[in-house]
Structure 1
Amino acid sequence: MKSIIVKLVALATLMLASSVWAHGDVKCTKLPKSQWKPHTELQEKLTKEGWQIRRMEQTTTCYEVYAKDPKGKRVEAFFNPVTFERVEE
């Protein structure tokens, strides 16, 4: 029983670490936040395109979107906050 708990904790730690590394280097823009468009405009744009937004966050250089894309696939996507172009990881 104890070894199962240790393995589960190790697995959870690896999963959390890998998610941090997965998008730790995404760079969307170097422009100051004063030039960013409001995230509500991005939300409206994506909704019109068929996205189902669950949550949006602001990173230091991007808008991060947790949603279902128009094909129904759950995604974590990054968008340039000035142009709203999707930025690939």
Structure 2
Amino acid sequence: MRLSTKLIPLVIAVLTSNAWAHGGVKCTTLPKEQWKPHTELQAKLIKEGWQIRRMEMTDSCYEVYAKDPKGKRVEAFFNPVTFERVEE
């Protein structure tokens, strides 16, 4: 069975979108001008015992790849305004 040539771009768009990759996590609707700097979140997490590997900015969250204070490897999302953790 062959996919229609019109359907292939749609499938590619869905599979590569941020919503698909991040489970549609929404942290805030506030503009990025109101976000706190990611370095503040990084300092807060390190103080709490996190070991940060990498941080990224999504459309509405700070995404953190790290080991949590218990040593568990995690991908966590944080509200960039409040720094509250947002569950997927």
Same fold, judged at TM 0.5 (above)? yes
Q: CA deviation at 1:23?
A: 1.9
> Which residue identity is paired with 1:60?
D
Residues 18-57 of structure 1 aligned to structure 2 (within 5 Å): 21=20, 23-57=22-56
Residues 1-89 of structure 1 aligned to structure 2 (within 5 Å): 21=20, 23-89=22-88
SS in 2 for 1:84: coil
1:39-88: per-residue Cα shift (whole Å, max 9, x none)? Answer: 00000000000000000000000000000000000000000000000000
The structure where helix makes up a greater share of residues is: 1
Give the TM-score, by structure 2 length: 0.77
Q: Which runs of 5+ in 1 are unaligned?
A: 1-15
Q: 2-side partners of 1:22 and 1:31: how far apart?
A: 22
SS in 1 for 2:26: coil
Q: CA deviation at 1:22?
A: 5.7
Q: Percent identity?
A: 86
Q: Which runs of 5+ in 2 are unaligned?
A: 1-14
Q: 1-side partners of 2:36 and 2:20: how far apart?
A: 27
Give the TM-score, by structure 1 length: 0.76
SS in 1 for 2:43: helix
Q: 1-side partners of 2:42 and 2:22: how far apart?
A: 21
